[in-house]
Chain A
Amino acid sequence: MIYLDNSATTKPYSEAMDTYRTVSEQFFANPSSIHSLGGKSESLLSKSREQVARLLGVDDGEIVFTSGGTEGNNLAIKGAALAYRSRGRHLITTCVEHASSMNAFRQLEEMGFEVTYLPVDHDGRISFEDFKKAYRKDTILVSIMHVNNEVGTIQPVREIGEFLKTKPTTVFHVDHVQGFAKVPLQLKNSGIDLCTISGHKFHGPKGTGILYVRQGTVIAPLLSGGGQEGERRSGTENLPGIAGMVRALRMTLEHEKDGIAHLSDLQAQLRKGLSGIENAVIHTPVSGAAPHIVNVSLKGIRSEVLVHALEKDEIYVSTKSACSSKDSGASDILMAMGIPEEEAAQAIRISTAFENTNEEIAAFLSALAENVQQLKTVMR
């Protein structure tokens, strides 16, 4: 099996699953229970939080454990908009966000907020100038993804963070789900107030995530209840998931430097190989893109057909984002980049992880060339 759909989800580290199992069996008590068994769970929870905070270079109190990227984005976006609605009603995001951000903004629009969706250029990138023009006195929230989940384009979140540092009435949220451990992003002193990370994108268990909430930033909770996670996210903590994720996070960051270099190497190999396939058009920009995603259209072949053809060889890639690929048709993100609908409907996404090898990429490339050759003759 060659798994190249790591932007959809990753295979969990076996160590993370060991932790998941051990914690499920041995630390099953509720951290809020006052007996000593609950106390043990509570210490493990706070130790987990400490470790995340240290690894991310932030304070313990700034870490909120969530169920993943969708919850993190929803909590950040709706939570901040609702908490600060008396300050203003204007929100800024981009037209290439993940569905969990995009649809949160649609919902806020229905509630009376005004949203500016920044356009992107041919590389899928917003311009800082456009952002500055869209920024208003009553802008209470800016939410931008760091790395695009379909094409890998890096958005200028650092620049925007610097700009927003001097605007204390605006909350800045970064969707860092695809960028984490692929494109390093500093949180402290970056102008970023909220940052979403998802556990299963870095070999942690599903249903886990982190929302960084800078000290002093208020968010209205989406889930009311027992006041867990500093009154920001009620519900009995998913301790096995949290501990498993924290372990995966540590392991991932331990390999981050070498891992990113390796991903870049794989990406170069992919680009080189794809350039030898005559009808391949790569949409991922050459510069300013994450090292783990290559988005490519194979002209004349609908992406769905190609995905199924490759899976016969036990090679797994995806069409567009798994979260939007159920409604058939072309990618909104590619269309926003100005790519014609027909070509956009022919795009596949190849996304790698640290453990993918050069041999796997070579095998994928030859399988792709073969399938493209066959399908071309069949489909014409």
Chain B
Amino acid sequence: MIYDYLVIRFGEITLKGKNKMNFVQKLENDVKDKLSRFSMLGIKRHFDDIEIQLNGEDADQVLSVLTRIFGIQNISSAIKVENNLDAMQDGVLRVMKAENGVRTFKIAARRKDKRFPIHGSELNQGLGAYVLKNCEGVSVDVHNPDITLRVEVGYHETRIYGHEYDGAGGLPVGTSGKVLLMLSGGIDSPVAGYLLAKRGATVEAIHFQSPPYTSDRAKQKVIDLTKKIQSFGGTVRLHLVPFTKAQLAIRDAVPEDYRITIMRRLMFRIAEKLAEKTGALALATGESLGQVASQTMESMNTINQVTDLPVLRPLITMDKLDIARIAKQIDTYEISIRPYEDCCTIFLPKAPRTKPDRLHAERFEKSFDVEALTDEAVNGIETLTVTSEDLEDAFSDLL
């Protein structure tokens, strides 16, 4: 590994005009925070990039952290040389030799410091010729090269870039306000949480438990899922709602085919109340149009009636297979398929209504005390704060 530097480039943030620095500042904090365990790193923010000096830390391990931080477009490995042609030639050659299996290349030189006497195109030719002379079996291909060696002449020194890695894209987490995600434990909702975090939202999660019908492992499963979302975002708060009493009341008072509709309406009511307390400005679900009975247009119309908060549904137009693919990418799939009962799988009616309507729903809700059950559930909420440090502590005396 010849590279001493990694250079982080921003994505959409650069389009933010006057607000840009707020976003960059947030991103810098995220980068510093997530990389804090690498004690040797030097991290420096510039106007249009963040530069990380490795100082002997393992580039691959640092990269594996960086590629999970939102707001980063790409990351390049780089070396720095002095602003003179000899040093640049030597540097370009070192990078070329470090990159394996490269047959064709091109040089893309750029002067930030226009005082440097050699123009970009001249540099391209000069450095290209030097590589050709000193590297066997390589040729120049300006259209479709195996590697583009980018040379950037700065005011004090020149950077030469090697391999470029894709970042996670999106916006820095915490720049888009707070959303309360309804996290079931299935495959979809963690993906919805990930996509919202990617757009900069601060995600809090709400999960409904029905002990003793659901177990501690179902709870652990949701905690593990929250951890995965946390690994992309910052700290994630997880709110656990005691839901057994409400479910039993619904079972006793509501005709079988409407139970899911009423249950979902109750969940939205509870979530809305919690959102008021925590300052979340929207609710979010992992719903995908038509996937199950509660996700038809009619169901969403009927269920959505009980809240006037925006309900964000990032997966609404996505196919199940595409959702599963993202779940695999972000490592939530394996957790989601753990076979524990959750509150949605118990008391499941044989034939739920796929086209419920608001009138019926309202009428059925008159037969039990919706208000009281909602308040009781909200008051019983247990809130966990999932941060990376907390996770270190469990079993730390054993391991």
B176 to chain A, nearest CB (A): 29
* Given A39-B220, A46-B224, A188-B61; 4 other pairs, CB 8 A cutoff: A19-B398, A57-B58, A59-B331, A246-B399
B395 CB contacts on chain A under 8 angstroms? 43-44, 47-48, 243
Least Cβ–Cβ distance between A161 and chain B, in angstroms: 11
* Binary flags per residue of B68-106, CB closer than 8 Å to A gives 1, else 0: 000000000000000000000000000000001100000
C-alpha spacing A19/B64, complex, angstroms: 31
In chain B, residues 49-66, which have Cβ atoms closer than 8 Å to a Cβ of chain A?
58, 60-61, 64
Tell me whether B321 is interfacial, beta carbon within 8 Å: no
Find out whether the CB atom of A34 lies under 8 angstroms from the CB atom of B60: no
* B60:A19 contact, CB within 8 angstroms: no
Do A36 and B60 touch across chains, with their CB atoms under 8 A apart?
no
- B359 at interface by CB-CB < 8 Å: no
Residues of B within 8 Å of A43, CB to CB, are: 220, 394-395
With a cutoff of 8 Å between Cβ atoms, the chain A residues found around residue B12 in the complex are none
A19 to B60, CA, bound (A): 32
> Is the beta-carbon distance between B58 and A36 smaller than 8 angstroms?
no
Contact across chains for A162 and B60 when beta carbons are under 8 A apart: no
Tell me the bound Cα distance from A237 to B162 in angstroms: 44
In contact, B399 and A47 (Cβ under 8 angstroms): yes
Which residues of the partner chain A approach B334 to less than 8 Å between Cβ atoms?
Answer: 61
Q: Does A165 count as interface, using CB distance less than 8 angstroms?
A: yes
From B64, B340, B399, A188 is in contact (CB under 8 Å) with: B64
Q: Indicate whether A166 reaches chain B with its CB closer than 8 angstroms.
A: yes
Q: Count residues of B near A (Cβ-Cβ below 8 Å).
A: 18
With A59-B331, A243-B398, A243-B399 as known contacts, state yes or no: A189 contacts B60, CB within 8 Å.
yes
CB contacts (< 8 Å) of B399 on chain A: these are 19, 47-48, 51, 243, 246-247, 250
- A321 vs chain B, min Cβ distance (A): 31
Instruction: State whether the Cβ of B291 lies closer than 8 Å to any Cβ in chain A.
Output: no
Residue B114 lies at the interface, judged by CB distance under 8 Å to chain A: no
Known pairs A39-B220, A57-B64; A162 contacts B398 (CB<8 A): no
B232 vs chain A, min Cβ distance (A):
15
A23 CB–B CB distance under 8 Å:
yes
Size bracket of the A interface: 20 to 34
| C-alpha gap A34/B216 in the complex (Å) | 10
Question: Which A residues are in CB contact (< 8 Å) with B383?
Answer: none
Instruction: Kindly state the separation between the CA atoms of A42 and B394 in the bound complex, as whole angstroms.
Output: 13
Within 8 Å CB of A236, what residues of B?
none
Known: A34-B217, A44-B398, A47-B395. A186 touches B58 (CB 8 A): yes
Near A by CB (< 8 A), chain B positions 347-399 give 394-395, 398-399
Taken together as a complex, chains A and B put the C-alpha atoms of A162 and B97 apart, in Å, by: 14
Question: Which residues of A lie under 8 Å from residue B64 when comparing CB positions?
Answer: 57, 188
**Residues in chain A near residue B217, CB distance under 8 A:** 34, 36, 39, 42
Cα–Cα distance between A51 and B58 once the two chains are bound (Å): 18
B214-225 vs A, CB cutoff 8 Å, 1 = contact: the mask equals 011100100010
CA–CA, A246 and B397, complex, Å: 12
Contact with B along A248-280 (1 / 0, CB 8 A): 001000000000000000000000000000000
Q: Find out whether the CB atom of B398 lies under 8 angstroms from the CB atom of A247.
A: yes
Chain A residue at minimum C-beta to C-beta distance from B216: A36
Residue interface bits A70-107, CB-to-B below 8 A is 1, else 0 = 00000000000000000000000000000000000000
Minimum CB–CB distance for A249 against chain B, Å: 9
B338's nearest neighbour on chain A, judged by CB, is A42
Partner of A39, one of B58, B101, B216: B216
Does A22 lie within 8 Å of B398, measured CB to CB? yes
| B394 → A minimal CB distance (Å) | 6
- Which residue of chain B has its CB nearest to the CB of A36? B216
Q: Are A39 and B398 in contact (CB under 8 A)?
A: no
Q: How far does the Cβ of B108 sit from chain A's closest Cβ, in whole Å?
A: 25
Residues in B neighbouring A22, C-beta threshold 8 A:
398
Q: Is the CB of A23 within 8 A of B398?
A: yes
Known: A19-B398, A44-B395, A47-B399. A36 touches B61 (CB 8 A): no
How distant is the Cα of A247 from the Cα of B396 in the complex, in angstroms? 9
Query: Can you list 30 A-B pairs with a CB-CB distance of less than 8 A?
Result: A19-B398, A19-B399, A23-B398, A34-B215, A34-B340, A35-B215, A36-B215, A36-B216, A39-B216, A39-B217, A42-B217, A43-B394, A43-B395, A44-B398, A47-B395, A47-B399, A48-B395, A48-B399, A59-B331, A61-B334, A162-B100, A166-B100, A166-B101, A186-B58, A186-B60, A189-B60, A243-B398, A243-B399, A247-B398, A247-B399
Closest chain B residue to A242 by CB distance? B399
Q: Which residue on chain A has the smallest CB distance to residue B334?
A: A61
